[in-house]
A and B are shown apart, each in its own frame.
Chain A
């Protein structure tokens, strides 16, 4: 069973914003809403600068689903977290709950009125007829229903951003790390895909050193 995830390789991301542009273009996201963005730390510091592309990570145990007062979130069989804009009241709770700042709120209405939440859909549309105009207008393009992967990942020039089944992209990343011999940190994975029952953001359990047999 496919379990769709995103993986961003901080060793490869060159902060080109190609993913951001691809997302904007593919889904015709309105002005002021950024489903994906690139975050850079240690900007300008030689050797320490790292960039990562951030959007909804489609968490295994999504906090947005837990806090939504109108229960407008659901998870598809592929593990993609989506929401129903017909139900959303734009309260903003999901924004506070999300560790990645993924939920976005258009403020194009009168007096900066906050509209319904918008976020990355893993290019999987939403609860409207697949590939229909209504789906495109509300949620963007449904590339999964076209047999394609999210535009951001497919467009990434350095293949820093990988999207797809967790097992497949983790294998790609593992081989990459083995070849280059460094950069095995997976940013955001423990927060987004931690083990069930584990608190979001908890660190993986480290193996305890075995006590020596004692005759030394």
Chain B
């Protein structure tokens, strides 16, 4: 019995690393120590003279729609053939 106890202790130490937790960052959503930041769609579109995208201020869906049009401009097959 006296020999068995140290042996079990060594075995327990040997498998200790098996219980290690995944070291992956947790997804954080806007909670951090710093200042708050306003989302892009809370700003109004630029004046017409700049010919930028147009959306309704504060409306996320319309901003996403306008930025999607801009993204599709990177699609040269559609841009050229349509």
Contacts and interface: CB of A to CB of B under 8 A. Distances in A.
> For chain B, what secondary structure do more than half of its interface residues adopt (helix, strand, loop), or is it mixed?
loop
A168 interface: yes
Nearest to B26: A66
Interface residues of B, number: 41
Contact of A131 (B43, B64, B75): B43
Interface string A64-98: 01100011111111100011101100000000000
B49 interface: no
B34 to A, nearest CB: 3
Interface residues on A, range: 35 or more
Contacts of A179: 77
Contacts, number: 134
Given A144-B40, A146-B46, A172-B74, A87 B52 contact: no
A137 to B, nearest CB: 15
A109 interface: no
A101 interface: no
B33 A87 contact: yes
A124 B67 CA distance: 13
A65 B40 CA distance: 22
Nearest to A135: B37
A164 B66 CA distance: 12
Contacts of A188: none
Interface string B57-82: 00010011011101110111100000
A130 B75 CA distance: 29
A162 B79 CA distance: 15
A145 B39 CA distance: 8
B35 A84 contact: yes
Interface of B: 22-40, 42-43, 45-46, 50, 52-55, 60, 63-64, 66-68, 70-72, 74-77
